[in-house]
Amino acid sequence: MNCHLKKLKLSQQFCGSLREAMESLDKDREFLTQGGVFTEIRLMLTLLLILKNHKFEHAPHPVEFEMYYSS
């Protein structure tokens, strides 16, 4: 397999943002609750916590703030 194709395939396994990770968790509920690994309530609470903290998605990271906004 071409090296670039391997990298592309690998990169598609990771979420690019917190929002994508949350959506993936939500889509995989059935898989995650099989065998009692996670409960529906635990997944729901985790997703709610992520949504609550989601407001930081568009805020600059502290390193970005230091690089671009401090003198």
Q: What is the mean pLDDT of each successive set of 10 residues along the chain, which is 71 residues long?
A: 62 74 86 90 88 75 82 65
**Furthest-apart CA atoms within the chain: distance in Å:** 54
Domain that holds residue 26: 17-68
pTM of structure: 0.53
Whether 42 is in a domain gets the answer yes
Whether 48 is in a domain gets the answer yes
Split into its structural domains, the chain has a count of: 1
pLDDT at 12: 60
Whether 56 is in a domain gets the answer yes
Question: Which tokens sit at 5?
Answer: 């194709």
10 to 3, 6, 7, 36: CA distances (angstroms): 11, 6, 5, 29
Whether 24 is in a domain gets the answer yes
Whether 7 is in a domain gets the answer no
